[in-house]
Amino acid sequence: MSQILLIEDSKESALHLTRLISQNIEADLLHAQSGLEALGMIASKPFDLIIADVHHQHIDRFDIPGQLFKKENSQRAPVLLVSASGDESYPEIKALSFGNGEIFELSTSGLNFIAWVKILLTLTREEPSIQLSQAQAPAKELFEERLTVQDSSVLHRIGDITDFIAALAHEVRNPLTGISTNVQYMQMTFADRETQNEIYSDIMEAVTRIDALFRQAVDLVRPFELRLIKTDLNQLVSDVVAMRTDAIREKKNTEPLFELTDTLPNIEVDIASFTTALTILLDHCSRNVPEGGNLICSTSLNSDAVILTLSHDGEGLSKIRLRQLFEPIPALKGSDPGLGLSYVKRIVDEHNFHIEAESEYGKGTRFTIKFPLKVKSN
């Protein structure tokens, strides 16, 4: 039976991760609450996989594998670095080390957490000692070299899930089209009373939300096909804001403010998907800005990147909500249609850009997207 060591100082998060792994994988899972405790456990017995929370207070962030390797250089177990929370969401996967202290940053959804654990356990079963020279290869190439036909069954199941979601979305969206068409017809012909209009509008809003959810769910699990075009970011932002200004003015009695830097280099984006991302982000801000409040769109440039910032002076977010802001499962419980900001992050990640959020409860929220001047391809 596989041996897994979990390094996590939060009892709530440790319990959630233990339950999540135990439900999907047959393994002995031991828990260390501190780095010192983890080092002692590793010295006393071998492990097939080490899972560490990068928010762990007792070891500095991504230095966990390095410290383990310095103390126990015979330990060759891979280390999976995650960002965990105590709720029911999947931990976000941050990085991976093959036991030599070298870090490979990953960009993958937390929904793939269990699949990654299974793959890494398979690797250690096949070759329990991964040598340093092999670990220096990029993680993707290492997996391609070592995954056998049997090992790749996990990846095939992920593909099956993708196909299932796509088929389910197709079956759901077809009747939704019929429902929305009939409701629109009733709005034109039978909406004699204000109450009827409100009912039809509520139905259309629900239909639109379900349609967006399934459309974005398919996009979330499928590879994007980006058609990159050199684009004026200021113009793109202005166009998106122009489409929403009337609605924001009507609902919140305010208009977005612009603070745009004129001398920006063009950025390469897929116009369709990035327009969608900006629209979702702007709509999120407009829903949370107070009536008569400030919603600001700004662009700037530094030596490394073009920067876009959207901010509002609304209520702001709690620390827990901020940490979960870009995760798909908590997004389903939020006020944004579809998968909300998790879908925005997927689009940004596919472009190899970076998005982050800062918020202080009671003072507002600021979103920042950085467009590196030198973009690494996926």
CA distances in angstroms from 40 to 30, 45, 319, listed in the order given: 12, 9, 33
The C-alpha atoms of residue 117 and residue 121 are separated, in whole angstroms, by 6
CA distances in angstroms from 151 to 126, 157, 162, 250, listed in the order given: 10, 11, 19, 56
Task: Give 318-346 pLDDT, tens digit per residue.
Answer: 887 888 888 766 555 666 555 678 888 98
Q: Where are the beta strands (DSSP E) in 89-233?
A: 92-97, 104-108, 228-231
The domain 2-150: what is its CATH number?
3.40.50.2300
pLDDT at 131: 40
pLDDT at 118: 81
Asked if the model's pLDDT at residue 129 lies above 60, the reply is: no
The C-alpha atoms of residue 355 and residue 357 are separated, in whole angstroms, by 7
The C-alpha atoms of residue 266 and residue 257 are separated, in whole angstroms, by 22
Q: Give the pLDDT mean for 143-162.
A: 44
Which of 26-30, 79-83, 115-119, 150-154 has the highest average model confidence (pLDDT)? 26-30
The C-alpha atoms of residue 341 and residue 157 are separated, in whole angstroms, by 26
Q: Give the pLDDT mean for 80-84.
A: 80
The C-alpha atoms of residue 293 and residue 314 are separated, in whole angstroms, by 7
Q: Give the pLDDT mean for 216-221.
A: 66
> Residue with structure tokens 């792994």?
21
188 — pLDDT class (breaks 50, 70, 90)? confident
pLDDT at 64: 62
Q: In this structure, which amino acid lies at residue 109?
A: S
Which of 137-141, 218-222, 350-354 has the highest average model confidence (pLDDT)? 350-354
Backbone angles phi, psi at 284, to 5 degrees: -60, -45
Asked if the model's pLDDT at residue 368 lies above 90, the reply is: yes
Asked if the model's pLDDT at residue 306 lies above 80, the reply is: yes
Q: In this structure, which amino acid lies at residue 235?
A: Q
Asked if the model's pLDDT at residue 378 lies above 70, the reply is: no
Looking at the DSSP bridge assignments, the partners of residue 369 are 308, 355
Query: Please, are residues 52 and 79 in contact by the beta-carbon 8 Å criterion?
Result: yes
The C-alpha atoms of residue 318 and residue 365 are separated, in whole angstroms, by 11
Tokens of 70: 């310095």
pLDDT at 155: 43
Count Cβ atoms below 10 Å from residue 159 Cβ, excluding itself. Answer: 11
Asked if the model's pLDDT at residue 32 lies above 50, the reply is: yes
The C-alpha atoms of residue 173 and residue 195 are separated, in whole angstroms, by 27
Which of 23-27, 54-58, 179-183, 368-372 is least confident? Answer: 54-58
pLDDT at 132: 34
89 — pLDDT class (breaks 50, 70, 90)? low
Tokens of 151: 């090992």
Domain ranges of the chain: 2-150, 157-221, 228-372
Looking at the DSSP bridge assignments, the partners of residue 360 are 364
pLDDT at 58: 47
Tell me what the pLDDT averaged over the chain comes to: 75
Angle between helices 271-288 and 233-252 in degrees, nearest 10: 30
When computed from its CA atoms, the radius of gyration of the chain, rounded to whole angstroms, is 24
pLDDT at 201: 78
pLDDT at 154: 44
Which of 35-44, 129-138, 181-190 is least confident? Answer: 129-138
Q: What is the DSSP string of 303-357?
A: SSEEEEEEEE-SS---HHHHHTTT-HHHHTTSSSSTTHHHHHHHHHHHTT-EEEE
Q: Right CATH number for 228-372 from 3.30.565.10, 2.60.40.10, 3.40.50.300, 3.30.70.100?
A: 3.30.565.10
Q: Where are the beta strands (DSSP E) in the chain?
A: 2-7, 27-32, 49-53, 79-83, 92-97, 104-108, 228-231, 257-259, 267-270, 295-301, 305-312, 354-360, 364-372
Q: Give the pLDDT mean for 169-177.
A: 67
The C-alpha atoms of residue 186 and residue 108 are separated, in whole angstroms, by 44
Which of 67-71, 135-139, 162-166 is least confident? Answer: 135-139
Task: Give 226-278 pLDDT, tens digit per residue.
Answer: 889 999 999 999 999 998 899 899 888 898 999 999 989 999 999 988 998 99
β-strand pairing of 267-270 with 228-231: antiparallel
Task: Give 42-78 pLDDT, tens digit per residue.
Answer: 878 888 888 888 765 444 444 566 666 665 445 567 8
Establish whether domains 2-150 and 228-372 are of one fold. Answer: no
357 — pLDDT class (breaks 50, 70, 90)? very high
The C-alpha atoms of residue 319 and residue 361 are separated, in whole angstroms, by 8
